[in-house]
Structure 1
Amino acid sequence: MSETPETLLHDELLERVRERAAGYDRDNAFFVDDLAELRDAGYLTALVPEAYGGLGWGFDDAVRAQLRLAGAAPATALAVNMHLVWTGVAKILRDRGDDTLDFLLREAGQGEIFGFGISEAGNDLMLFGSRTAAEPQAGGGYRYSGRKVFTSLSPAWTRLGTMGLDTASADAPKIVYGFIDREDPDVRILDDWDTLGMRATQSRTTVLDGAFAAPDRIVRRLDPGPNADPLVFGIFASFELLLAAVYAGIGARALDLAVAAAHRRTSMKRDGAPLSQDPDIRWRIADAAIAQEAVEPQLLAVARDLDALVDHGPMWFAKLVGVKVRSTETAKHVVDQAVRVAGGSSYFAGSELGRLYRDVLAGIFHPSDDESAHGTVANAWLGPLDA
């Protein structure tokens, strides 16, 4: 492996990304220059095997890299994450002897960008159900009709991984996973992204009006409901782990900003002494540091187990939702402590901490949410509820 997370995402590149982040947020603009620079550096091929033109990283490398990138620009990291998630799914399958998504790895190695068109408003079944119709076509293809929300990378993706419900086939119902092209005339991307935080992701609504996935781009037809299929595991594992890395990066950056603020700010009550000498401020920073320090080791342990094909059986899902919830909730707590340390200056729109405060809130909306995650972990440890 010629590049590492630290050499590819070197400090000079990250500083340029950080300098652009405030402007993208202020203007509600897509991170065009960040994407171009990351693409030129080869970052979008991080999880693509070297044989397909990629960097050949493992998930531990990807986690470390996303921690670094999110510390510079959370919205850029979150949006790029959705492409990395699909390449991660393909890697998980390939590592386990399943070449279903090798076409995705080849195309990512050639420069295609993959969007994550799974989420739907009101679909709390997530991967186990769909409000989108998947209509079977002669020859084995499908046409998808429905609305996908939070489709990150909307201005840039060239391929969209999506799913819908087939209610027409003889063996229906089936959840059908497939990939469509951006050039499809039956794909519409709405200009509706104007949010509190993570603004540069431009995660716009994607409307599918019969968008076509060719037979060779239909990758699974699964029964609705919980499913042990490797594709479902791959989506769940790649999404939860890489998402958690983004929020861990936000927490790490917030802690650094809190430390800097404590050294910079002074107290008239203490004859101009820096707030780093104030016992209450010291407690807040220590509290944030104790929480933050627990996240990265857990992330890397789960990543290494995923790369090493460790068999955690039914505990895998509990581990994955656990690391997602720990990362997002810890990041919220650390950012909150950092804002309290930094004081009123963080309330201004141009403050980096103020932006992190808005960005970190998005973590509560990503699946698995807090309630669902606790249900998953309870089932893993205690067994399901009695019928």
Structure 2
Amino acid sequence: MTVLTQDLLERIRSRAAGYDRDNSFFTEDLDELRAAGYLAPRSLLDTARDQRLLAAYAPATALGINMHLVWVGVARALAERGDRSLDWLLDEAAAGELFAFGISEPGNDSVLWDSNTIAEPIDGGYTFTGTKVFTSLTPAWTRLGVFGRHGDTLVHGFITRDTPGWRSLGDWDMLGMRATQSHTTVLDAVFVPTSRIVRTLPIGPNADPFVFGIFANFLLLIGSVYAGVADRGLELAVEAVKRRTAMHTGSSYAQNPDFRWRIADAAIALDSLAPQLEGLAADVDGLVDHGASWFRKLTGARYRSTETARYVLDQAMRSAGGGGFRATGELARLQRDVLAGLYHPSNSEAVHSTVAANLLGALE
């Protein structure tokens, strides 16, 4: 059962334009969502559905809070598969700690398979030195997942906000998804004790359950957020064509065959997302084993969702007329927000490479 009441959602929507205009963090939204119990662990299917709903009201809030929900989902997925190594994360999340991702790096198109950050073993743990980008929740996180490279090994761990050696550049001023406040984070010999080192893995692709948990939760929840953006875009498109009238006939644009086709085509594309996103989320919850096809299915679902969302918003802009181009309007904000989908892992090239390798074997 969702905790996203209609009153809560309307309050969150009422603040979204202001956060975007001021390039400010969604502090009030976070406070209300935490108080409502939204940050607590639950099934991936329920989380995906809720994130889609939340994103229809405030895309940047949904995308920002996604990062915490992904880490909680990773810990939950491991526990369900008999791996209790992240049970402490579930306990801390339940106690109110906020988790964020310090994974993406400038120039690192290998994402999880390699790192530009240096992980140096020292007595009692590792130090991490490097630069992380797109660190959503920067103003509020209390736990940050980081990883780096030591020789041929990738080391994953978590720092706390009071750990010395990290700093934020405060440089988030982007076209869309502004309220996420995903600033660049610089790590300068930041120490992570052994107790918070959660994985050491070889460089390159692997099917470790920890990696699977990240992919499954991140890709499906990202896809759900953009599906939610598209849901709202379609709503606004329908409202626009019902509101507009043709000057020479006085008839509603809702009776115009061209606009009817445009709206219908957007809806047909959007209707395809729920079975894919929710079906895979249910499979993760149900411990279904898709074997080597998992990464193909997960990356494909995220890619299809963001591309479909961009298409739906394009149709909405075409349907709304010149008023949709107003910078202060909701539709224009959604159009800017949906463009962020271009930059989430895995990019279109990586997705197609993954699917081709699954179907055709490795490139020779």
**Normalised by the size of structure 1, how large is the TM-score?**
0.93
Unaligned stretches of 5+ residues in structure 1: 48-56, 168-172
**Identical aligned pairs, as a percentage?**
59
Verify: 1:122 aligned to 2:100, yes or no.
no
1:301 pairs with 270, 279, 296, which one? 279
Aligned to 1:87: 72
Aligned to 2:89: 104
- Give the aligned CA root-mean-square deviation in angstroms: 0.7
Unaligned stretches of 5+ residues in structure 2: none
Question: C-alpha distance in 2, partners of 1:198/1:273?
Answer: 37
Aligned to 2:129: 145
Shift in Å, 1:349: 1.2
2:175 pairs with 186, 193, 196, which one? 196
Partner of 1:26, secondary structure, is helix
Shift in Å, 1:327: 0.3
Shift in Å, 1:67: 0.6
Question: C-alpha distance in 2, partners of 1:82/1:257?
Answer: 27
Question: C-alpha distance in 2, partners of 1:101/1:349?
Answer: 44
Aligned to 2:344: 366
Partner of 1:349, secondary structure, is coil
Partner of 1:220, secondary structure, is strand
Aligned to 1:39: 34
Aligned to 1:210: 189
Verify: 1:248 aligned to 2:227, yes or no.
yes
Question: C-alpha distance in 2, partners of 1:284/1:150?
Answer: 34
Aligned to 1:263: 242
Shift in Å, 1:371: 1.0
Question: C-alpha distance in 2, partners of 1:213/1:174?
Answer: 16
Aligned to 1:177: 156
Cα deviation per residue 1:107-164 (whole Å; 9 max; x = unaligned)? 000000001000001001110100001110113x111100100000000000000100
Letter in 2 for 1:359: D
Partner of 2:164, secondary structure, is coil
Q: How does 1:149-160 map to 2 (within 5 A)?
A: 149-160=133-144
Shift in Å, 1:65: 0.1
1:219 pairs with 176, 198, 201, which one? 198
Shift in Å, 1:166: 1.0
Aligned to 1:131: 116
Shift in Å, 1:297: 1.3
Letter in 2 for 1:203: S
Partner of 1:43, secondary structure, is coil
Question: C-alpha distance in 1, partners of 2:185/2:315?
Answer: 37
Partner of 1:296, secondary structure, is helix
Partner of 2:291, secondary structure, is coil
Shift in Å, 1:76: 0.2
Where in structure 1 do 4 or more consecutive aligned residues deviate above 4 Å? none
Aligned to 2:43: 58
Letter in 1 for 2:66: N
Aligned to 2:60: 75
Length, aligned pairs only: 364
Shift in Å, 1:269: 2.4
Aligned to 1:314: 292
